[in-house]
Amino acid sequence: MKPKMKGRRPQVAQPKDISSDKSRKINTDAEYLKQLEEENLKLRIENAYLKEPRRLRLEGIPQNKKRESSTASEENSN
């Protein structure tokens, strides 16, 4: 039988293996960073896709104004 320790438990747990914790942390940080970069790329693509109709619509407005003014000038000339 193993004798039990008397008294309170220590507040701070003793570190088991510092090197494995650091490598695990670096590995998870790298994975998290890669995940964030992938999400960022997907959101940029989605943002560009959603902005495209607006850009096309805004480009179409000046063309429509030119057409309207040309038809209006033809009506006034008659």
How much is the average pLDDT of 34-57? 93
How many angstroms from the chain centroid is the CA of residue 60? 30
User: In 3D, which of 12, 28, 32, 10 has the Cα closest to residue 20?
Assistant: 28
Q: Which residue has the higher pLDDT, 67 or 23?
A: 23
Q: Which two tokens stand for residue 22?
A: 């650091």
What pLDDT shows up at residue 59? 84
Q: Which residue has the higher pLDDT, 26 or 56?
A: 56
Q: Which two tokens stand for residue 65?
A: 């104004």
How many angstroms from the chain centroid is the CA of residue 61? 32
Domain ranges of the chain: 27-73
What pLDDT shows up at residue 68? 57
Reported as a pLDDT band with limits 50, 70 and 90, residue 46 is: very high
**What are the residues whose beta carbons fall under 8 Å from the beta carbon of 21, sequence distance 6 or more?**
15
Q: How far apart are CA 41 and CA 34, in angstroms?
A: 11
Reported as a pLDDT band with limits 50, 70 and 90, residue 26 is: confident
